[in-house]
Chain A
Amino acid sequence: MIRFVVRRLLQMCVVVLVLSMLVFAWLRSLPGGPVSAILGERQTPERRAALEAALGLDQPLPVQYLKFLERALQGNFGVSTKVLPGEDALQVFLDRLPATIELSFVAMVLAIALGIPLGYLAARRRGSVIDNGAVIFSLVGIAVPVFFTAFLLKYFFAVEWNLLPVSGRQSTGLDATRITGMFVLDGILTREWDAAWDAIKHLILPAVALATIPFAVIFRITRAAVLDVLDEDYVRTAEAKGLTTRVIRARHVLRNAMLPVVTTIGLQIGGLLAGAVLTETVFSFRGVGDALATAFRDKDYPVLQVLILAAAVIYVLVNLLVDIAYAVIDPRIRTR
């Protein structure tokens, strides 16, 4: 097991190195760049050249890359040009990460807490109203764009009914203490209950919007997996043996159906960042996705590089965790 994990981590280093080259070359091959974003209408060839020289963008690409690599190996990924000018790019990522973790965690919990039971129920009562209703609901979840779902959620829950805040992470003027950067957790740790409750209220709508797609996918995979398992001989055997329904469901049906579901959950966690870009932007939720959107618009190369590489690392790590979870669920993999 340890050898397996070490091997995968070494593979990850190679992936990150190759990806860093690709990202570096790709970003610089895009038209425009940070200089236009900084100068705007004031741009002239002369001013452009001066700023390019100051930022080192006038040097040949391989030279720029080697300099980047040399600095990166010392833990210096450059400073932001536009997202938070002057701030270390890695720090920008680390500052924004807690918001995204908090949001993704709640979204994923929602998606799993609803997706698995509903999927199971839909499969058990195949063809029933619950089944059909849930299938349609999940289809809508996949088909409707996140920004539209977000707009509707905000319109009804925040503007019309005034139940929840429209956007942001916390109300102004709370003077909340910050420890981890995850506002709900911070509120709990410091016993600033009003701050925690306020942060929870701010989390609900974006988390629901972000959860729609993973929920739909988890629901459908669970439903399909349970349907498959229900037809298996061992389930029939267990029923014939006279085991209680509860034991059959927990030990035979759900546990076996969970294998594809766990893989799906892993992939969905990896994909959450993509959803977070849109969700965080429309909810002014200042996480990694929001930073990525700003950095891309303003061509903030150092921040973009860090964010893309970090996303790759997270994706690989999540997949590694999924593989480990597999071994936990399926003893056959463990003994192999």
Chain B
Amino acid sequence: MSPRRTMATFTAAILAGAALAGCAESQRDDESGGGNGDDGTFVFGAAGAPEMFDPFYATDGETFRVTRQIFEGLVGIKPGTAEIVPELATDWEPNDDGTEWTFNLRDDVKFQDGTDFNAEAVCANFERMFDQNEAGQTAGEYWGYVMGSFKSDAANSLYQGCEAADDYQAVISISGPTSGFPTMLSLASLSMQSPTAMEEGDANGIAAEGEGFSFPDYADNPVGTGPFTFGDYDEANGTITLKRNDDYYGDKAGVSELVFRVIPDESTRRQELEAGSINGYDLPNPVDWAGLESDGNDVEIRDAFNILYLGFNLDGNNPELKDPKVRQALYHALNRDQLVQTQLPEGATVATQFMPDTVSGYNTDLEPYAYDPEEAKRLLSEAGAEGMELTFAYPTEVSRPYMPDPEKIYEALRTDLEAVGVKVNVKTASWNGGYLDNVTAGRYDAYILGWTGDYDSPFNFIGTFFGNLKENDFGTKGMPWGKQLADDLKSADAIVDEDERAAAFEKVNQQIMEDYLPGLPISHSPPALVVGPGVEGVEPSPLTAEEFDSVTVEGGQ
């Protein structure tokens, strides 16, 4: 083909394209942008894409951030705290043994598709969550986690049934009292969804396919009762648009549109904020906080609702760790004050126990283990463990709210341990590339890990760590007190009276820190979010569960 012919072909292709242009119709909605009034748009930069929009099957924070705006639960969370408050239920009352809970419901609520919200809808939701096929039981992570089981294994389920006593009164039966109920009903996964929409979209039609799950149509068409309705997910552009629900029963949202933009790179999120193309983003790097503030942005620091700890595998190959003196020595070796001041964000505190002070059951009498390298050396020599070896690991390719930079935290701890003569074998793996597996499988003597609470319950913290004797990362089954600890936790959790329950958990916390020493709680770190100039009404949530209906944007976007 000669160059001239190539040129001719190219021109022909362009002309064909131009001809095609006549065939493609714009599908623009003429009223775009103005449908819900025009109080501006709040654009929030998210670090990742949501998995789907049915919170029941979701497991990640990016999905919950979006669904929290669309859905509500029977129980809500007071903005800015971890405390539960009435949401779709106005109040609730247990029977004497804490196994039957009567929820009085709001009578002025409709789902966004017009379906009535009432006791029947509540029970339809619980039955839907309870009655899952095999794939649904695996994908319905949170239900499995808080309720223990599903309908096919009803005997082991906390949830036992739901009954509509009258139009606006639902009675939920559970197998026994627990500190987690009804607080767990504030979980995004357990939100109330429209029974009509769920039926139309075959909400439970999940199936295992190859190595993943295929989700039904409903997962892309969520209908709740919240202040925003689902607009669309522009996957190609990484934006999720929600519209103000003008029929919302409560105060209407302050902006007509709420947009989440997926921006995985943290420095890009910051640049987007500086350029004014987004109004806020989550988890700004702590080293940027001061700079962001001085540029006129507002860094909102959440109360810490997490714990970073140094975990030991007490049932592993390191016999020296079984000696409480050795563990005590390691605690005294670590300078946590310095670590908190140099490696963690402003507002971080040294932990005295495995839960933050906002959780009931927190023991205020406990003091942190003092940094005392001499005492550490003395204890090590008393135990005959001078020069002991420790396989100590940290994760890479991850940043969690409780550990913004695992490597730096690790380095500080390692230096302290080596200073008292411990020989540290450094181990590392990427978060999804084996680290969690290795911790779970007990392949490290010591590791750093943490937890962000799901809701305000002591069992959600220490119960998660030590409540399951057979399977926990600390290997407590290898210790004489392991069973006692697990049993104590379970019986404390089953106490109906709140004050008595809190006292029982306080005692367990004391035993953990003074007698058992299964690991060392290091710190609580407050994660932040940042909003640009002109944005008002953001209430930072310790549970990172911000609701954006109270947000207003000056001048709109």
Using a CB–CB distance below 8 Å, which chain A residues touch chain B? Answer: 30-34, 36-48, 50-51, 54-57, 67-68, 71, 76-86, 95-96, 98-99, 151, 154-155, 158-159, 162, 165-173, 175-179, 181, 183, 186, 188-192, 281-284, 286, 290, 293-294, 297-299, 301-302, 328
- Residue in B32, B208, B265 whose beta carbon sits within 8 Å of that of A281 in the complex: B265
CB distance from A46 to the nearest CB of B (A): 6
Known interface pairs A79-B211, A86-B52, A286-B238; 4 further A-B residue pairs with C-beta atoms within 8 A, sorted by A's residue number: A40-B59, A95-B235, A166-B268, A176-B28
Closest chain A CB from B140 CB (angstroms):
11
Residue from B138, B238, B435 in contact with A51 in the complex, judged by beta carbons closer than 8 Å: B138
Max chain B CB contacts within 10 Å: which of A50, A99, A154, A281?
A: A154
Query: Within 8 Å CB of A189, what residues of B?
Result: 17, 20-21, 24
B239, CB-defined interface residue at 8 Å: yes
Q: Which residues of B contact A171 (CB under 8 A)?
A: 277
- Tell me if B's interface is mostly helix, strand, loop or mixed: mixed
Taking CB as reference atom, which chain A residue is nearest B241? Answer: A172
Contact, CB under 8 Å: A188 / B21 = yes
The A/B interface has a contact count, at CB < 8 Å, of 220
Contact A167 B211, beta carbon cutoff 8 Å: no
With both beta carbons as reference points, the residue of chain B lying nearest to A328 in the complex is identified as: B1
Whether B21 and A85, one on each chain, are in contact in the complex, defined by CB atoms closer than 8 angstroms, is no
CB distance from B350 to the nearest CB of A (A): 21
Task: Tell me the bound Cα distance from A48 to B473 in angstroms.
Answer: 13
Of all chain B residues, the one with the shortest Cβ separation from A83 is B49
Check A167–B268 contact: CB distance below 8 A.
yes
**Of residues 261 to 278 in B, which have CB atoms within 8 Å of A's CB atoms?**
261-265, 267-268, 271-272, 274-275, 277
B33 within 8 A of A: yes
Contact of A44 with B440 at beta-carbon distance under 8 Å, contacts A54-B135, A81-B211, A99-B236 already known: yes
Q: What are the residues of chain B within 8 A of A169 when measuring CB–CB?
A: 236-238
- Taking CB atoms and an 8 Å cut-off, the chain B residues in 204-241 that contact chain A are 208-215, 219, 235-239, 241
The stretch that binds A, out of B107-115, B322-330, B425-433, is B425-433
- B residues in contact (CB < 8 Å) with A: 1, 6, 17, 20-21, 24-29, 32-33, 41, 43, 48-49, 51-52, 59, 134-135, 138-139, 141, 144-145, 208-215, 219, 235-239, 241, 257, 259, 261-265, 267-268, 271-272, 274-275, 277, 397, 429-438, 440-441, 449-451, 468, 471-472, 557
**Once the chains are docked, how many angstroms separate the CA of A98 from the CA of B209?**
26
Q: Does B271 contact A166, Cβ atoms closer than 8 Å?
A: yes
Chain B residues near A77 (CB, 8 Å)?
Answer: 210
A302 and B212 form a contact (CB under 8 A): yes
A-B contact pairs, 29 of them (CB 8 A): A31-B433, A31-B434, A32-B429, A32-B431, A32-B432, A32-B434, A37-B432, A40-B436, A42-B59, A43-B440, A45-B440, A56-B208, A56-B210, A78-B211, A84-B51, A86-B219, A155-B271, A165-B277, A166-B271, A172-B261, A173-B33, A173-B259, A177-B26, A281-B265, A283-B268, A286-B238, A294-B48, A294-B264, A302-B212
Query: Which chain B positions have C-beta within 8 A of A80?
Result: 212
Q: Give B434's nearest chain A residue, CB to CB.
A: A31
